[in-house]
Homo-oligomer: A and B are copies of this chain.
Amino acid sequence: MPASRLTDTSRLAIHTMTHKPWSLEQCIREYSRAHLPGITVWRNVLAPMGAPAAGKMLRDSGLEVAALVRCGFFPGRDPPARALAMDDNRRAIDEASEIAAPMVVLVCGAVPGMSLPDARKQIRDGIAQLEPLAAERKIKLAIEPLHPMYAADRSAINTMKQAREICQALNSPWVGIACDVYHVWWDPDLETEIRLAGEQKTLFAFHLCDWRVQTRDLLNDRGLMGDGCIPLRTIRGWVEDAGFRGWNEVEIFSTEQWARDQVEYVQRIQRAYLQHC
Contacts and interface: CB of A to CB of B under 8 A. Distances in A.
Interface of A: 112-113, 115-116, 120, 147-149, 151-153, 158-159, 161-162, 185-188, 211, 213-216, 218, 228-229, 231, 234
Q: Per DSSP, are chain A's interface residues mostly helix, strand or loop, or mixed?
A: loop
Contacts of A185: 151
B186 A151 contact: yes
Nearest to A153: B213
Given A112-B213, A215-B218, A218-B218, A152 B187 contact: no
A188 B159 contact: yes
Nearest to A115: B231
B188 A152 contact: no
Contacts of A231: 115
Given A159-B188, A188-B159, A112 B215 contact: no
A149 B152 contact: no
Given A112-B229, A113-B229, A215-B218, A187 B148 contact: yes
Nearest to A117: B188
Nearest to A215: B218
A153 B214 contact: yes
A59 to B, nearest CB: 39
Most B Cβ at <10 Å: residue of A162, A186, A216, A231: A186
Contacts of A148: 147-149, 186-187
26 contacts: A112-B213, A112-B229, A115-B234, A116-B186, A116-B188, A147-B149, A148-B148, A148-B149, A148-B186, A148-B187, A149-B149, A151-B186, A152-B186, A152-B211, A152-B215, A152-B228, A152-B229, A153-B213, A153-B214, A153-B229, A158-B186, A158-B188, A214-B218, A215-B218, A216-B218, A218-B218
A188 B153 contact: no
A174 to B, nearest CB: 24
